[in-house]
Structure 1
Amino acid sequence: MREKSREQSLSDSRELDGSYDPLTDSIAEDGELSTVCYRPEGVEQLLQQTKFTRRELQILYRGFKNECPNGVVDEGTFKYIYAQFFPQGDSSTYAHFLFEAFDSRKSGMVSFEDFVTGMSIILRGSVTEKLNWAFNLYDLNKDGFITKEEMTDIMRSIYDMMGTCTYPCMQKDAPKEHVENFFQKMDKNNDGVVTIEEFLESCQKDENIMQSMHLFDNVI
């Protein structure tokens, strides 16, 4: 029974990366397959759990496997990959927060399932799903509240990531001002924390935030 499950998992991973054609039951020769030590549970399951098509999952899996040949990514590798997109600044702290948001199982590793589930929400999720994902990112200790300290840490990490190559140049007190503006808008009862209800209500009333929620629709 276990061997059958292992064979099905291998078949699913080959279907994902495009080296397996389920219609002809043929397998392309691919030296990469020998390096993969972790494979997704199943294509059909991912089709049900995400809003990607089979072809889109294949594209995402190939890209993921090219960067992470063993099938999972640890935080160090995640930071290294993310740093390539922001060479002008220090993205390590923001990448740490982002890694924790993707690592929903708190395993210290991000699997393809973790990655593609998160990307499905970011790219194809409803506005409410996207906002819930963003709230989880900002809620660093995952206690259901965003504090000024947490938002300050997030904003500092973003400003560090953007670096000095911005115009106009960012002022040192910019993160603090951003946090104050955030809480003035979001903290409806002035208790010093922002709940998910306050976050959703405020964001859904903000035209700029709502427009930004659709920036990545239908990417890939």
Structure 2
Amino acid sequence: MVVKKKKSVRNDASMGVSLDMSMDSMEETRFKKKYQHLIHKLSKKLHFTTIELECLLIIYYKLQKEGEIKQPGVTKTQFRDVLHCGFDMTDDNLMDRIFLAIDKGPSSYVSMETWATTLSLFLRGSLEEKIEFCFSVYDIMGEGILGRDTIFYLLRNSLVSSTGDEDAEESIKDMIEVITKKMDLDRDGKISFNDYRQSVLKQPMLLEAFGQCLPSRNAIHAFMISFTTNPGKL
């Protein structure tokens, strides 16, 4: 699947203009009426206005309709394509972990609420929200700590994926020493969530120290201007 840029979704409803110029007005009206309660619910807890949420859910709806057969939602494969092509999230080694952090359910579909919640985090999430998300991606064992084996696995996959150097073990061991020294604040040989959080709050550049699990700034800006006139500062 090739993700197409949604040029036609606009944040102009206040001026009486259709949210999506490629969508039949009656279909759009039915859509907004059907999901008005969900939109109202999400507007209270996410970083989007009501109109922005309408636009984002219409994008979801159109992705759902792209399926060859009628499907109950956007598939995880479709969402993976959005992350890969639309958000420059190309670390395939972390993609399964990212999906587990986003949605731990067994379904092969991503719900509208999960879609909107994930985009809220990616596009306008606070540093605290991103810290919690990234750590959950990195915490492979689900123990609330990043041990040396986990760190080695994450760094090795990240380094091999970006450089193609499969004989990078010594470099990785050196990196582990540097990162552990910087982030293991209680000096117990492991990086706990508190170690990670405090380190990132002091030096935000450490947020994705173990691999990319958030969109790039350029990708965020490009996606934001496709559905809102208020992309904000990045």
Scaled to the shorter chain, the TM-score interval is: 0.5 to 0.7
Q: Residues 209 and 115 of structure 1: is their aligned pair in 2 closer, same or farther, counting only changes over 3 Å?
A: same
| Structure 1 residue 47 displacement after superposition | 0.4
Q: Is the 8 A contact 1:79 1:92 kept in 2?
A: no
Q: Residues 110 and 170 of structure 1: is their aligned pair in 2 closer, same or farther, counting only changes over 3 Å?
A: same
Match of 2:46 in 1: 50
| Structure 1 residue 95 displacement after superposition | 1.3
Identity of aligned residues (%): 21
For residue 130 of structure 1, give the secondary structure of its aligned residue in structure 2.
helix
Separation in 1, partners of 2:160, 2:111: 27
Q: Is the 8 A contact 2:73 2:111 kept in 1?
A: yes
Q: Residues 146 and 42 of structure 1: is their aligned pair in 2 closer, same or farther, counting only changes over 3 Å?
A: same
Q: Residues 160 and 91 of structure 1: is their aligned pair in 2 closer, same or farther, counting only changes over 3 Å?
A: farther
| Structure 1 residue 44 displacement after superposition | 0.4
| Structure 1 residue 73 displacement after superposition | 4.0
Separation in 2, partners of 1:163, 1:71: 39
1:178 aligns with 2:175: yes
Match of 1:123 in 2: 123
> What letter matches 1:61 in structure 2?
L
Match of 1:12 in 2: none
Q: Deviations over 1:102-125 (max 9, x none)?
A: 114564542221122123223323
Match of 1:137 in 2: 137
Q: Is the 8 A contact 1:146 1:195 kept in 2?
A: yes
Q: Is the 8 A contact 1:74 1:110 kept in 2?
A: yes
| Structure 1 residue 30 displacement after superposition | 4.3
Match of 2:184 in 1: 187
Q: Is the 8 A contact 2:147 2:190 kept in 1?
A: yes
Q: Is the 8 A contact 2:199 2:206 kept in 1?
A: no
For residue 141 of structure 1, give the secondary structure of its aligned residue in structure 2.
coil
For residue 44 of structure 2, give the secondary structure of its aligned residue in structure 1.
helix
Q: Any residues of structure 2 matched to 1:35-74 within 5 Å, and which?
A: 42-69=38-65, 70=71, 72-74=73-75
Match of 2:153 in 1: 153
For residue 47 of structure 2, give the secondary structure of its aligned residue in structure 1.
coil
Q: Residues 124 and 104 of structure 1: is their aligned pair in 2 closer, same or farther, counting only changes over 3 Å?
A: farther
Match of 2:227 in 1: none
Matched residue count: 188
Segments of structure 1 that go 5 or more residues without pairing to the other structure are 1-16
Structure 2 length as normaliser, TM-score? 0.60
| Structure 1 residue 147 displacement after superposition | 2.2
Segments of structure 2 that go 5 or more residues without pairing to the other structure are 1-8, 19-23, 66-70, 225-234
Q: Residues 161 and 196 of structure 1: is their aligned pair in 2 closer, same or farther, counting only changes over 3 Å?
A: same
Tell me which moved more, 48-57 or 89-98.
89-98
Q: Any residues of structure 2 matched to 1:96-107 within 5 Å, and which?
A: 96-105=96-105, 107=107
Q: Residues 68 and 177 of structure 1: is their aligned pair in 2 closer, same or farther, counting only changes over 3 Å?
A: farther
Q: Deviations over 1:73-132 (max 9, x none)?
A: 444444444444699x97432211111111145645422211221232233232222211
Q: Residues 195 and 56 of structure 1: is their aligned pair in 2 closer, same or farther, counting only changes over 3 Å?
A: same
Higher relative contact order structure (alpha carbons within 8 Å, sequence separation ≥ 6): 2
Q: Residues 56 and 203 of structure 1: is their aligned pair in 2 closer, same or farther, counting only changes over 3 Å?
A: same
Q: Deviations over 1:9-64 (max 9, x none)?
A: xxxxxxxx89xx8xx9x982449x99xxxx79611011012011122223322333
Q: Residues 171 and 63 of structure 1: is their aligned pair in 2 closer, same or farther, counting only changes over 3 Å?
A: farther
What RMSD, in angstroms, separates the aligned Cα atoms of the two structures?
A: 4.2
| Structure 1 residue 187 displacement after superposition | 1.4
